[in-house]
Chain A
Amino acid sequence: MGDLFAWLISFFLVIGVIGVILYQLMCLADLEYDYINPYDSASRINKALLPEFVAQGVLCFLHLFTGHWVMFLLCAPYAYYNFTIYTRGRHLLDVTEIFNQLPWEKKVRLYKLGYLVVFLALTIFWMIWSIVDE
């Protein structure tokens, strides 16, 4: 039962992270098509960054503590990436250079999104598996 519960939490966390990433991508796309100005775009994205990092970190530790080693290893690189850019202070978007960074930032987020979708699929699989298992 506990395992199922862990998978459920993990499932919602992944959904949450995907939501945040989508939101950031949306802000970037709006910026690119000139629907919002760079100040708003940067501040919205920067506000959404910490929740993303925290949720992802929690997800990672959840798998660690519940003994889902494979899943933990899968999320570790992502967590490590977040951790390094955070410690170097490069996680925030720089409003002055946002247009130059735009292509790169979009690419990063698209990769994250793809990664998370795979992760979500696995999570759902394991969740169903654990339901069936019981």
Chain B
Amino acid sequence: MGTENPNRPNFPARPAVTPFAAQQSATPFLSSGSVVGSEAPPFRPVSTASSQFSTPPFSAGSEGPAFRPPPTSRSNELVRPPPPSASYGPPSSGFQHFPSPQMPSTGQLPPPRTSFTGQPVVPMQTRPPPGHVSLPSQPQPPSVPMGSPPQSIKTGQPNMNIPLSADQHFLPSRPNAQASSPPMGPSYATPRGTFQSAFPGYANMQPNSVAQAPTMQPSSFPLQQGNYGPPAPSTPFLSQQRGYTPGPPMSTPSGLYTGTQMQQHGIAPPLANSQGLAEDFSSLSLGSVPGSFDAGVDVAALPRPLGGDVEPKTFAEMYPMNCSSRFLRLTTSGIPNSQSLASRWHLPVGAVVCPLAETPAGEEVPVVNFATTGIIRCRRCRTYVNPYVTFTDHGRKWRCNICSLLNDVPSDYFAHLDASGIRVDMDQRPELTKGSVEFIAPAEYMVRPPMPPLYFFLIDVSASAVQSGMLEVMSQTIKSCLDDLPGYPRTQIGFITYDSTIHFYNMKSSLMQPQMMVVSDLDDIFIPLPDDLLVNLSESRSVVEAFLDSLPSMFQNNMNVESAFGPALKAAFMVMSQLGGKLLIFQNTLPSFGVGRLRLRGDDIRVYGTDKEHILRLPEDPFYKQMAADFTKHQIAVNVYAFSDKYTDIASLGSLAKYTGGQVYYYPNFQSSIHKDKLRHELARDLTRETAWEAVMRIRCGKGVRFTTYHGNFMLRSTDLIALPAVDCDKAYAAQLSLEETLLTTQTVYFQVALLYTSSSGERRIRVHTAAAPVVADLGEMYRLADTGAIISLFSRLAIEKTSSSKLEDARNAVQLRIVKALREYRNLYAVQHRLTGRMIYPESLKYLPLYGLALNKSTPLRGGYADAQLDERCAAAYTMMALPVKKLLKLLYPNLVRVDDSLVKTEEFDISKRLPLTIGSLDTRGLYIFDDGFRFVVWFGRAISPDIAQNLLGEDFALDYSKVSLSQRDNEMSRKVMKILNKYRESDPSYFQLCHLVRQGEQPREGFFLLTNLVEDQVGGSSGYADWMLQLFRQIQQNA
């Protein structure tokens, strides 16, 4: 439909950008439009036109049924001056035009024939004179009129507008409508509702800019409005409006309506009844009905997690003794009581565990020392004592909450019970009151003396490493962290460097300078010294410092470009295998020498899209997996730092980190001048954060359920024992449950996560998190208790795992399919009692699921095809996402976008929580925006930004190429403010350093690369935009529904 295109232009300000925005044209929906066009020429020849409304019989002018809210995307349209109203006049029939104003904007709406005579007037108002048009930033006036008038038309009352979102809540707000004409109180047909809502939404969006006219905002109508009001077909007014229409006096426009309205009525007979009030699901009206091509989604009304991740609260309230949700999140807190129920749920049943999550001050996990009694555990299932065990027999026995076995209470642990059966010493026993405790483990929990914290560095010193400056930044950082390494004075440290040979360093404390030994026989690696390659840091401190000082200069003139990575890895393994610890690998090139050498792959485009594509994402050489398995066996965790701009086969290198519980840090095209701060921060955090060593983790759960599959970066040591050579607060693990018995008879299922580890101080400890969850027999309840964050976390891990055995597209489709199945099942729950036509319904708890699903499909590991992301980048992101805790993952999927120029100019304090929807429509050419996904900042300068701001922030560089400019603190208020904001964001999320990328509007390809591809709600490349995505889901949900 050519027609749509015209709309596009409307992002007036930025031509360059438009393509992205524009994409909508592509939508399938177009075709139908023609029908309308003819009839309502004045309107934009709108595309689809027509009837979204399937249901009701259109009595008369059926052609024009178009209530559909205009596709949101179109918002641009506002801009256009509407053709003079003439068109509206058409006589007759009964088609009411609703929204004349909309029409212009959406194009879609135009019901062909308007009956309203009055209308012409209205439109005039609404439309801004051509001149105004467009820029969002511009004076809003246009917007105001637009918003309200239309409404008036429709509803008859301008006031009606109600704040968007809350579907059900608006009742109170609407009072006028009802009040005004109580008797009339027509029912709104739901579809109608949608129509309206869409419109308003539309209005809202545009002006995302601050300016929105107040009236506008309220405009969105909750869908459900329709429901209120008894159906009162009788009065003409009613019928028109279907809804609220207030009595004629109220709104002039209404008066205009003529008999034609009746038809509308016919179209959507008042369905509503009071049941709307009782609906316990959220819904989104999508105007389309199966079979119709027209789509109308009110973009502004789509749910967005602008408040960030929200943890379900009901659960915590129900079981106050549960561990905090930062440690354990269940995908649904209602555990299904039967296998058939579980299979109908379609989403994963499982948990995401972050055993060492950082706790805010004051909520530290209490440490309990059972020195004399030994740790109290169930004899049979080995569950640790926890708040949910019950004491009986005057306190002499306790019943395990997981397996219900009656255990004896050791005499040292005995306490009397009070009248209500509670131990008298309850308040002094954190293990009986808190969901998270840490036990100090006695010698039985050790297979060897607790290991000291051990850091071993394997450093590539080939020519590229030296040239990029990586070597220098790294040695400086390590040196500055020496004081903060955990575990003083037991900490051990060692180094190996390599290019085409391997260099060992003797760091014996009696030496002044480290001694270097070169081994060039790569086929048969041996260790030149039995010890002293790994030394105690506090004893050899001066030697280590001398080494780090001289390291960059030692290899300054190294011209060797080879990398004997495999042999060096083996050497490091031999040095470390006695103790275990953490191995940090700094790799700059593709391993090219000796065992484990890799070759360039992934540059053959023909492979993409075929069945062999996934092989590129798997380790090429089994050497790496084998080494990873050996590392885990010997308690060595590997962190890989990769720096090359060329292909380094992160898929292979990363598998070392994946199976040892490590992490991959990837700095493509590392240049110390740009990435210095990022490497410094992340390396320092890696070295200094509290780390748990030689750990194993097990999740126990009650009878009848069992954790079957585990997802994350680790290796399983037995079916349910996760081996973690090193764990820290930035790692989370996911697991899926399955039901072993067909029917669960218990009321509650308990989960207990136990992490046995050696702390940096050399203590063996067990961290135990306990949670209880109710067993439910009702599918609706499962949905109500669902946790989107945990579900998405599991989804992303499953999808990433799927990319290593099939095509990207299959992985994306799998995500989509599961969402569709889940929502379809949910729809079926309510389809009988409620009228759902034209609405997509979902539980309140899952309202963000579709959006996050979309964002997941557009995330680096899953997006597009060959050209959309470098293979290495994809793999690195995949390894990272496999380990991310829920909150950070959600932030990565739906990043923060905030506008800061206003607060720079004014004096007010910057409101960090004012997030914007991730669509290009949120960006105003005169604004300054910060985009933060937890891994980087993108600072976006609008084209029309006041030079003042740019100059203040960037000094003299503001006119240069932004890729060469960095944001640093300058001596003026604005600059200080921006830096303050950035630092605030950084502090709130210290796991990674967010490097600042400056982007100017229209500066391609940087803008596209950094920002536009990450605006997940927009249509980019071949992927759909948010509104389209919802329609796709909606359509699929309706099939076979």
Contacts and interface: CB of A to CB of B under 8 A. Distances in A.
A102 to B, nearest CB: 8
Contacts of A34: 718-719
Given A96-B659, A100-B709, A38 B625 contact: no
Interface in A39-96: 39, 89, 92, 94-96
Nearest to A42: B629
A106 B39 CA distance: 67
Contacts of B522: none
Interface centre among A32, A37, A99, A100 (most CB of B within 10 A): A99
A95 B719 contact: no
Contacts of B625: 94-96
A39 B633 CA distance: 9
Contacts of B715: 38, 96
Nearest to A94: B625
Contact of B719 (A32, A39, A92, A94): A32
Contact of A38 (B628, B655, B710, B717): B717
B365 interface: no
B716 interface: yes
Contact of B629 (A96, A99, A100): A96
A96 B622 CA distance: 11
| Dominant SS among interface residues on chain A | helix
Contact of B718 (A38, A92, A95): A38
Nearest to B655: A96
Contacts of A92: 622
Nearest to A36: B718
Contacts of B626: 95
Interface string B700-723: 000000000110000111110000
A96 B656 CA distance: 11
A40 to B, nearest CB: 11
Interface in B627-642: 628-629, 633
Contacts of A98: 716
Most chain A beta-carbon contacts within 10 A, residue among B622, B625, B719: B719
B716 A99 contact: yes
B719 A99 contact: yes
Given A34-B719, A37-B717, A38-B717, A95 B629 contact: yes
A39 B718 contact: no
B419 to A, nearest CB: 44
Contacts of B629: 39, 95-96
A38 B720 CA distance: 12
B859 to A, nearest CB: 23
Interface in B589-625: 622, 625
A100 B659 CA distance: 13
Contacts of B709: 100
Contacts of B655: 96
A32 B718 CA distance: 7
Contacts of A95: 625-626, 629
A89 B709 CA distance: 25
A34 to B, nearest CB: 4
Nearest to A102: B719
A117 to B, nearest CB: 28
A59 to B, nearest CB: 28
A34 B719 CA distance: 7
User: Which one of B622, B629, B659 has the greatest number of beta carbons of chain A within 10 Å?
Assistant: B629
A79 B717 CA distance: 33
A31 to B, nearest CB: 8
Interface string A5-47: 0000000000000000000000000011010011100000000
Nearest to B628: A96
Interface in A89-132: 89, 92, 94-96, 98-100
A29 to B, nearest CB: 12
Nearest to B801: A100
Given A94-B625, A95-B629, A100-B709, A37 B659 contact: no
Contacts of B633: 39
A32 B715 CA distance: 15
A37 B628 contact: no
Contacts of B718: 31, 34, 37-38
Contacts of B710: 99
B711 to A, nearest CB: 10
Contacts of A31: 718-719
A34 B382 CA distance: 16
Contacts of B717: 37-38
Contacts of A37: 717-718
Nearest to A89: B622
Contacts of A94: 622, 625
Contacts of A89: 622
B973 to A, nearest CB: 55
Contacts of B622: 89, 92, 94
Interface string B645-679: 00000000001000100000000000000000000
A34 B698 CA distance: 14
Nearest to B625: A96
A96 B658 CA distance: 10
A99 B717 CA distance: 9
B637 to A, nearest CB: 14
Nearest to A92: B622
A132 to B, nearest CB: 51
Interface in B912-945: none
Contacts of A32: 719
A72 B1006 CA distance: 63
Find the residue from A31, A34, A37, A38 having the highest chain B CB count within 10 A. A38
Contacts of B659: 96
Nearest to A39: B633
A22 B715 CA distance: 26
Nearest to B716: A99
A38 B628 CA distance: 13
A48 to B, nearest CB: 18
A92 B625 CA distance: 12
Contacts of B716: 38, 98-99
Interface string B96-131: 000000000000000000000000000000000000
A16 B710 CA distance: 36
A119 B817 CA distance: 43
A94 B710 CA distance: 16
Interface in B677-713: 709-710
A100 B709 CA distance: 7
Nearest to A32: B719
B736 to A, nearest CB: 12
A37 to B, nearest CB: 6
A72 B667 CA distance: 57
A99 B710 CA distance: 10
Nearest to B710: A99
Contacts of A96: 625, 628-629, 655, 659, 715
B627 to A, nearest CB: 10
A45 to B, nearest CB: 14
A34 B717 CA distance: 9
A53 B717 CA distance: 28
Nearest to A35: B718
Contacts of A38: 715-718
B252 to A, nearest CB: 69
A77 to B, nearest CB: 22
A104 B360 CA distance: 44
A49 to B, nearest CB: 14
19 contacts: A31-B718, A31-B719, A32-B719, A34-B719, A37-B717, A37-B718, A38-B716, A38-B718, A39-B633, A94-B625, A95-B625, A95-B626, A95-B629, A96-B659, A96-B715, A98-B716, A99-B710, A99-B716, A99-B719
Q: List the 10 closest A-B pairs by CB distance, nearest first.
A: A34-B718, A99-B716, A95-B629, A96-B659, A96-B625, A96-B629, A96-B715, A96-B628, A94-B625, A99-B719
Interface of B: 622, 625-626, 628-629, 633, 655, 659, 709-710, 715-719
Given A38-B717, A95-B629, 9 more contacts: A31-B719, A32-B719, A37-B717, A38-B715, A89-B622, A94-B625, A95-B625, A96-B625, A100-B709
